[in-house]
Structure 1
Amino acid sequence: MASHHLVAAPAMADNPLAITGAQRGFVYVIAVVAVLALVYAYVLVREVLAADTGTTSMQEISKAVQEGAAAYLNRQFRTLGLFSILVFALLLVLPVNEGGASVRIGRAIFFLFGAGFSAIVGYVGMTMATRANVRVASAARGGEGQRGFHIAFRTGGIVGMLTVGLGLLGASIVLIAYNDHAPTVLEGFGFGGALLAMFMRVGGGIFTKAADVGADLVGKVEAGIPEDDPRNAATIADNVGDNVGDCAGMAADLFESYAVTLVAALILGQAAFGAKGLLLPLIIGGIGVISSVVGILATKLRPGDRNGLVPINRGFVISAVVSLVLVAVAAFTFLPSKFSDFDISEQVSAYDGSPAVIAFVAVLIGIVLAVLIQQLTGYFTDTIRRPVRDVAKTSLTGPATVVLSGISLGLESAVYTAVLIALAVFGAFLLGSGSVAVALFAVALAGCGLLTTAGVIVSMDTFGPISDNAQGVAEMSGDIDEAGARVLTDLDAVGNTTKAITKGIAIATAVLAATALFGSFTDAVADALAKYHATEATNFVIVSPNILVGAIIGAAAVFLFSGLAISAVGRAAGRVVFEVREQFRTRPGIMDFTEKPDYARVVDICTKDSLRELATPGLLAIFAPITVGFAFGAGPLAGYLAGAIAAGVLMAVFLANSGGAWDNAKKMVEDGSHGGKGSEAHAATVIGDTVGDPFKDTAGPAINPLIKVMNLVAVLIAPAVIQFSTGDDKNNGVRAVIAIVAFVVIAGAVIVSKRRQVTMGDEPEPARVELKA
């Protein structure tokens, strides 16, 4: 696709951009490795399901969570299914730069595959998590921490192996079927995964945090009862939300990160290394399967470990080392020692670097970045580190100082993470100095390197909500002793940190993938300019006013998206608060356990609100780049993408780390620090946590798929933008109509969102005040 302007494409047998003969055998081997990853996931499923399911009370609570989560996702998939059909039809008519109708149809079909695979990863992740929670709770009885840890992490391993297996299998099938046209078809595959993940991230995030905030404000603060007390009508919805948001949403998010990074690497690899550039990312992905299996097997809690984070870090490092060794072997045996051996273009062939060294160092940069972000995020969100302890200490002076300290921590940590990611991108770019194609491929390979440990990363993330749910099941059932409760509390605290770490890694992956996609966008623009004989400049200089305007709009889109997601949580949480208060008021028997709360009512409120609220942020992500591209042209659209990437990385890290710090500060106080549960300090940290909930679990994580969706939309519409930019009056009219319609869709969605009520029920009349002389 994007590389074909570098060299004329002769017959397939002589085409240096197409895989032939033995190279096809490599692809079949990688496809087999992908299938083996799915087989290992099945082995882990059987192992987890064989564990003890605990007491009858535990099983009943877990079943209620399972049913609520399944009902929500089924309704969400029906809604998104209709939307996916519309996008499929649109992709059938959008022009492509090469390959004609067969490639255009293939791109649309594999959009459905990408969306379907993302849905499968999310659904299976949610299903297994809702079955693992009761098993972890049961295993913790008697203070047995090792077994509970093992079940929780192995359940995460199921989702991890599904992520790498399906992502690698999809890319392999496309390459086998479409050969040198595979990068164009893979645009659809990546877009499907990213689009569905974004909607699942937003919808699941709104659900989980509406329930969580409502449960905390009414239960902990107003009623003074524990977090998972069965008298709180929002507790089941809260546990359901952990699964549809943190399991289904994050699993889909990490799958699309894996798929989109692979897609970007294949697109740019073809430009830089020819046919071998198509194969290398797949080989690295196959290595990632092996290293992920090793990492999962190596993650075991030992008696001498300080907490559960120690074996998780150990498994991650082991996985990273295995990846690095195997990538070194692959790079120096598969790639030639000089670029002239590729013979794909004069520009690339003239470059005097070593392809093998460049590939290995680029992957090394990605792996090192993952390790550094893991350590940096852990420093700012772990309970044993000073930043979180300082946030917890501010609870002694009230909720305002807790909120201020968390915000300052998030802002500061965003700078360090952004600098790390920027240095990684710049380092990868320097590897290809003298060749933009090689430099961009190096950035994409850094993303592939970071994701060689994807299986372990996903395991770390899923571990968090499973531990949280296990604690909820145990507390609501009452069938847990003090030692078991202590184990579950410790696992939950570790899970909060692992969730924050994986959010940081996901953000880094999103930036690397988006940067690589930005490169493929400029290539797509160049191809389209040649095809339609247009003259628009492709040297996107940021000092040009029109490019700068695009950058400002791109950054603004990230802020608007975040604001919409957080306000959606606020509205939904308001309805939950009202409902729980009403149940306490109208059912006095709830507090003395003589009457049961109506859990289903709160689950229904969260379901309806989240499905209604997810539309506005989703429409913004799709139609904003369309508006900018057709209204202002390809140059400002490039600026838009740059602004969105820059603002996105800072905003995502700020939101994730602030929320993670507030959450763990609350855990510290609940564990006995600064007065413990029921104290004023506890109430202050609960307020901080409720502010941080939509930060870290709704808006922050959703920015990852957001910036990739916007970049993929830009790549997909680039040929059409250039086609209608030729200066013809008829084309100008079409551009104007498309831009106006896209803008109206965004404006209409925002206006409708703003008109929704914040709370349920009738608002009370304001008190009348009479002034006396």
Structure 2
Amino acid sequence: MPTTLLVTGDGSAVNVNISYVVLAIVLALIALGFAAALVKAVLSTGKGTKKMQEIAGAVQEGASAYLKRQFRALGIFVVVAVVLLWLLPVHSSDNEMLVRIGRSAFFIVGAGFSAFIGWAGMSLATRANLRVASAARDGDRPGAMQIAFRTGGVVGFLTVGLGLLGASVVVWVFGSDAATVLEGFGFGAAMLAMFMRVGGGIFTKAADVGADLVGKVEQGIPEDDPRNAATIADNVGDNVGDCAGMAADLFESYAVTLVASLILGQIAFGETGLVLPLIIGSVGIVTAILGVVITRLRASDKSGLTAINRSFFISAVVAALLSAGAIFFAVPAQWSELGIDLDVSGVALSPQAVAIAAVVIGIVLAAAIMALTGYYTETEKRPVSDVAKTSLTGPATVILSGISLGFESAVFSALLIGAGVFGAYLLGGSVIWISLFAIALAGCGLLTTVGVIVAMDTFGPISDNAQGIAEMSGDIDEAGARTLTDLDAVGNTTKAITKGIAIATAVLAATALFGSYTLAMENALAQAGELATGTINAILNLADPSNIVGLIVGASVVFLFSGLAVNAVSRSAGSVVYEVRRQFREFPGIMDGSQRPEYGRVVDICTRDAQRELLTPGLLAVLAPIAVGFGLGVGPLAAYLAGAIACGVLMAIFLANSGGAWDNAKKAVEDGAHGGKGTEAHDATVIGDTVGDPFKDTAGPAINPLIKVMNLVALLIAPAIVMFSYGDDASPVVRYSIAGVALLIIVAAVGWSRSKPITVGDDADNGAADKEKVNA
């Protein structure tokens, strides 16, 4: 029997089965308990030789120093965002003051959870990489893989545990106002994730590209040779970019999907819609525990990817069955039992069937994206083999083949995601709100596997770091090195797969948020007395030229954001190249081992540049929707979001898959294909990989939180735009002033970014002089 959950403030009550909320909170706490247990298990394994421990200690120190500096810088944005959230109107509640406080407070909670998950993922990964290297050194191949995957499992448990805990507490405390408060929670998580993704991505790829260009291509030394001054920075970057950045990214995907589901759920399914996303999230806790525990490398497995795929697909099947059972138990069989005002005569399916089908669509979509992305990025599959083969004709053909692969794979992946969205949409028949809720539930279904997905992603940088530590220490035999190389190749594929799944969640969440934006616009128009028949359709009509402009601007922002991110890596990598060249030139003893490189100099360069360069993309993401919305109106802002979603999904998949294919093509050549290391074919794939690095690890993944940040900003400002555009409070002066200020800040930030020299911290004369010295 449902019990009464009181809404704080005016004393009104909402009939919600509080037992489901309590169950979600308990399972969230269990997930956090499993995370603590896995931390203890990972840290209890062997730490390797003293040399390995010294190298790992340097990586830990550099990664911690970077994140501390980044969090200090982001604190300013958090304070500004809290003030703006407080000022934005709340039109949907009778408890306006309480909701304002809750939305601002949970913005801080969301940002704090995102930051904590990123820090925890980085902190444990910098300790686990040493232990993976040690296990490989001892000949324990299954143990090395288990340590890496279980470390990722810790981050997965933190993601689902904190995400579900935050949402459940908000539902418990705020009841029917939970969706509005959760806008702040999701926005905080998304904003922190975007900044961490961009900053960490710039750091890691600047170090990686600089290390490869000077070390591999110019000096002809191995990737993680200790004589290369950029190696420590490269390993630090794997942790602040891939571990911290991606962990925060997937957490905000989880949080934002819950936000969109709860906003739409109350309209489509009544009070049941307030707890159904929490129920599906609870299933995700069980799935995460199962998926991490059963991932073990068998003697018959061809590679670590076989074991990971097996656990993922088993988890997906279990998630589908458990979700179906939970929905059958928690959701009424008839629409009349939901207590909603919608005319559901055009819906052919029961509410149970709609919810089960939507969740299954999301789970199937995750599995399909995993298979498709794996095909385009796995070393053994033909697309990567073809890219590797083009190395025989030089770097130009390697780059061309990788770009072609990215374009092709983006089309198929986008069509697959589009089919998932449309399939969920059809479940609602002619009732738009049920259709949008079904899309949001599909996102929840996809994220029932997020615990395993996060573990897969974190597995990649840990394996990469383990290989670097082993190579730099020299304390490993050929068999151990082979194990780590194999794990690294698997990690490249799992990272590409999780990026594909992450962008699928972004599209599902953004589509649902688009519906939430329409709802916010409709409510604001009603309060302004402007909601007449056909008004919404007229505002969103694409025949309106202003909406076409909004659509074009939305797509353009994705291109500009990507260009800024890649250019930032290019400039910072240039600084790294000059620094590493300088050290080789001024310290000739580096090559024979009699002098030690100055690793800290490169870490400092990457840290400085990453902090400086993330400002412009961040401002663009937050201020562009404000400029469009207040400047052109709510209709063009809706079109802007549609353009950003459509362009963003294609761009993100293109960048991720091209980069992943180039990386594994390099691995294939290094494993002996087409002449192996030290050949022109190897040099060609190294150059392809350096082009792909900012594609797959900076610009591509950052588009994921970009889309959701812009959707959340639009959702938050919609009532204010309507207030200044219609009714008694209409004020064109205020509207255009806000738009003008936002636009000026964007132009100034982009102009400042473009005015920098091609190499950050190095003017043109110094660059030319350095080049002359090198040539001499």
Q: TM-score when scaled to structure 2? A: 0.96
- Residue of structure 1 aligned with 2:425, choices 425, 429, 435: 429
Amino acid at match of 1:48: V
Report whether the alignment pairs 1:136 with 2:132. Answer: yes
Residue by residue over 1:76-122, the C-alpha shift from the partner in whole angstroms, topping out at 9 and shown as x without a partner, is 00000121011001101100122311101110110000000000100
Amino acid at match of 1:87: A
Report SS of the residue matched to 1:347.
coil
Match of 1:418?
414
Amino acid at match of 2:768: P
Contact kept? 2:346, 2:429, Cα under 8 Å: no
Superposed counterparts of 1:729-768, under 5 Å: 731-759=731-759, 760=762, 762-764=766-768
Report whether the alignment pairs 1:47 with 2:41. Answer: yes
Amino acid at match of 2:736: A
Deviation at 1:532, TM superposition (A): 1.7
Return the alpha-carbon distance in structure 2 between the equivalents of residues 350 and 79 of structure 1.
52
Report SS of the residue matched to 1:677.
coil
Match of 1:84?
78
Deviation at 1:543, TM superposition (A): 2.9
Residue by residue over 1:387-430, the C-alpha shift from the partner in whole angstroms, topping out at 9 and shown as x without a partner, is 00000000000000000000000000000000000000000000
Report whether the alignment pairs 1:444 with 2:444. Answer: no
Deviation at 1:47, TM superposition (A): 0.2
Report whether the alignment pairs 1:390 with 2:386. Answer: yes
Match of 2:597?
597
Deviation at 1:767, TM superposition (A): 12
Stretch deviating more after TM superposition (751-760 or 131-140): 751-760
Return the alpha-carbon distance in structure 2 between the equivalents of residues 729 and 428 of structure 1.
39
Contact kept? 2:103, 2:181, Cα under 8 Å: yes
Contact kept? 1:198, 1:706, Cα under 8 Å: yes
Contact kept? 1:70, 1:127, Cα under 8 Å: yes
- Residue of structure 2 aligned with 1:498, choices 494, 498, 521: 494
Contact kept? 1:338, 1:352, Cα under 8 Å: no
Contact kept? 1:369, 1:450, Cα under 8 Å: yes
Amino acid at match of 2:124: M
Match of 1:57?
51
Return the alpha-carbon distance in structure 2 between the equivalents of residues 644 and 66 of structure 1.
37
Report SS of the residue matched to 1:39.
helix
Deviation at 1:464, TM superposition (A): 0.1
Match of 1:372?
368
Report whether the alignment pairs 1:127 with 2:110. Answer: no
Return the alpha-carbon distance in structure 1 between the equivalents of residues 141 and 769 of structure 2.
54
Deviation at 1:351, TM superposition (A): 4.4
Deviation at 1:335, TM superposition (A): 1.0
Contact kept? 1:143, 1:486, Cα under 8 Å: no
Contact kept? 1:130, 1:243, Cα under 8 Å: yes
Structure 2 alignment gaps of length 5 or more? 1-6
Superposed counterparts of 1:391-406, under 5 Å: 391-406=387-402
Deviation at 1:347, TM superposition (A): 2.7
Return the alpha-carbon distance in structure 1 between the equivalents of residues 473 and 298 of structure 2.
29
Contact kept? 2:723, 2:730, Cα under 8 Å: no
Amino acid at match of 1:141: R
Return the alpha-carbon distance in structure 2 between the equivalents of residues 501 and 309 of structure 1.
11
Report SS of the residue matched to 1:740.
helix
Contact kept? 1:142, 1:481, Cα under 8 Å: no
Return the alpha-carbon distance in structure 2 between the equivalents of residues 671 and 430 of structure 1.
48
Report SS of the residue matched to 2:592.
coil
Return the alpha-carbon distance in structure 2 between the equivalents of residues 491 and 442 of structure 1.
38
Change (3 A) 1:314 1:349: same
Contact kept? 1:204, 1:241, Cα under 8 Å: yes
Return the alpha-carbon distance in structure 1 between the equivalents of residues 458 and 402 of structure 2.
24
Match of 1:485?
481
Superposed counterparts of 1:694-773, under 5 Å: 694-726=694-726, 731-759=731-759, 760=762, 762-764=766-768
- Residue of structure 1 aligned with 2:227, choices 228, 231, 240: 231
Report SS of the residue matched to 2:542.
coil
Return the alpha-carbon distance in structure 1 between the equivalents of residues 375 and 272 of structure 2.
40
Change (3 A) 1:350 1:399: closer
Match of 1:575?
575
Match of 1:73?
67
Return the alpha-carbon distance in structure 2 between the equivalents of residues 738 and 569 of structure 1.
32
Residue by residue over 1:622-646, the C-alpha shift from the partner in whole angstroms, topping out at 9 and shown as x without a partner, is 0000000000100000000000000
Return the alpha-carbon distance in structure 2 between the equivalents of residues 131 and 338 of structure 1.
53
Contact kept? 2:85, 2:104, Cα under 8 Å: yes
Contact kept? 2:346, 2:430, Cα under 8 Å: no
Return the alpha-carbon distance in structure 2 between the equivalents of residues 25 and 728 of structure 1.
45
Change (3 A) 1:729 1:373: closer
Return the alpha-carbon distance in structure 2 between the equivalents of residues 178 and 694 of structure 1.
42
Amino acid at match of 1:31: I
Residue by residue over 1:430-472, the C-alpha shift from the partner in whole angstroms, topping out at 9 and shown as x without a partner, is 0001100100000000000000011000000000000000000
Report whether the alignment pairs 1:476 with 2:480. Answer: no
Deviation at 1:756, TM superposition (A): 1.2
Q: TM-score when scaled to structure 1? A: 0.96
Report SS of the residue matched to 1:528.
helix
Contact kept? 2:362, 2:420, Cα under 8 Å: yes
- Residue of structure 1 aligned with 2:459, choices 446, 460, 463: 463
RMSD (Å) for aligned C-alpha atoms: 1.7
Return the alpha-carbon distance in structure 1 between the equivalents of residues 770 and 124 of structure 2.
49
Amino acid at match of 1:373: I
Residue by residue over 1:297-350, the C-alpha shift from the partner in whole angstroms, topping out at 9 and shown as x without a partner, is 111000010000001001101111111111111111111122121122143477
**What's the % identity of the aligned pairs?**
66
Contact kept? 2:35, 2:157, Cα under 8 Å: yes
Amino acid at match of 1:374: M
Deviation at 1:19, TM superposition (A): 3.6
Change (3 A) 1:58 1:767: closer
Contact kept? 1:112, 1:192, Cα under 8 Å: yes
Report SS of the residue matched to 1:257.
helix
Change (3 A) 1:586 1:647: same
Return the alpha-carbon distance in structure 2 between the equivalents of residues 125 and 725 of structure 1.
45
Deviation at 1:545, TM superposition (A): 1.7
Match of 1:209?
205
Match of 1:633?
633
Deviation at 1:12, TM superposition (A): 8.7
Amino acid at match of 1:383: T
Contact kept? 2:723, 2:729, Cα under 8 Å: no
Superposed counterparts of 1:618-697, under 5 Å: 618-697=618-697
- Residue of structure 2 aligned with 1:284, choices 275, 280, 287: 280
Match of 1:5?
none
Change (3 A) 1:346 1:672: closer
Report whether the alignment pairs 1:359 with 2:359. Answer: no
Deviation at 1:143, TM superposition (A): 3.3
Return the alpha-carbon distance in structure 2 between the equivalents of residues 352 and 590 of structure 1.
73
Match of 2:4?
none
Return the alpha-carbon distance in structure 1 between the equivalents of residues 588 and 90 of structure 2.
65
Q: Which runs of 4 or more aligned residues in structure 1 lie more than 6 Å from their structure 2 counterparts after TM superposition?
A: 11-15, 727-730, 765-768
Return the alpha-carbon distance in structure 1 between the equivalents of residues 521 and 405 of structure 2.
40
Deviation at 1:29, TM superposition (A): 1.5
Residue by residue over 1:250-281, the C-alpha shift from the partner in whole angstroms, topping out at 9 and shown as x without a partner, is 00000000010111111111110011001000
Return the alpha-carbon distance in structure 1 between the equivalents of residues 681 and 771 of structure 2.
32
Deviation at 1:352, TM superposition (A): 5.1
Match of 1:313?
309
Amino acid at match of 1:409: L
Return the alpha-carbon distance in structure 2 between the equivalents of residues 180 and 572 of structure 1.
48
Residue by residue over 1:663-698, the C-alpha shift from the partner in whole angstroms, topping out at 9 and shown as x without a partner, is 000000011110111100000000000000000000
Residue by residue over 1:455-500, the C-alpha shift from the partner in whole angstroms, topping out at 9 and shown as x without a partner, is 0000000000000000000000000000000000000000000000
Stretch deviating more after TM superposition (23-32 or 576-585): 23-32
